[in-house]
Amino acid sequence: MNFAELTTYTVTTTNTTSNNSSMAGLTILYVAILLVAIIAQWKVYTKAGQAGWKVLIPIYNIYILLKIIGRPWWWLLLLLIPIVNIVVGVLIALELAKVFGKSVVFAIFGLIIFSLIGYLILAFGDAKYVGPSKPATAS
């Protein structure tokens, strides 16, 4: 065998036009859902007396959410621990529903399972911010 025989291979092509249009469609859908989520969270923050732009800053937005529900800042650290972060996320959802006068059932289905829909309901529905049952501590 010579070198030319060893390096011979067959190239197959696929239809990349349909793949590219599918990816473009999915990207547009993703950006649209992301914008709706940002708008809903912005409105929830303003209903709670916070500036809506705070939603746009990573980590700081969670700190503000903790202030809204009356939890201390160090809960942010709990969100960094695997498994514990799931429990803390559920507790945050339960408290968020509570500070807007909603039930535990709303928290489970509206803020945990179907979170985008739940945030839209909090943002544009008749939910009023009633505040946390106990104030956040300075520690």
Residue 103 lies in a domain: yes
Domain that holds residue 118: 11-124
Confidence of residue 8 (pLDDT cuts 50, 70, 90): low
Tell me what pLDDT residue 106 has.
95
What is the percent of the chain where pLDDT is above 70?
83
- Specify the number of domains making up the chain: 1
Residue 137 lies in a domain: no
CB 71 within 8 A of CB 136: yes
CA 13 to chain centre: 39
Residue 40 lies in a domain: yes
Rounded-to-integer distance, Cα 100 and Cα 48, Å: 9
Residue 34 lies in a domain: yes
Would the pLDDT of 77 be above 70?
A: yes
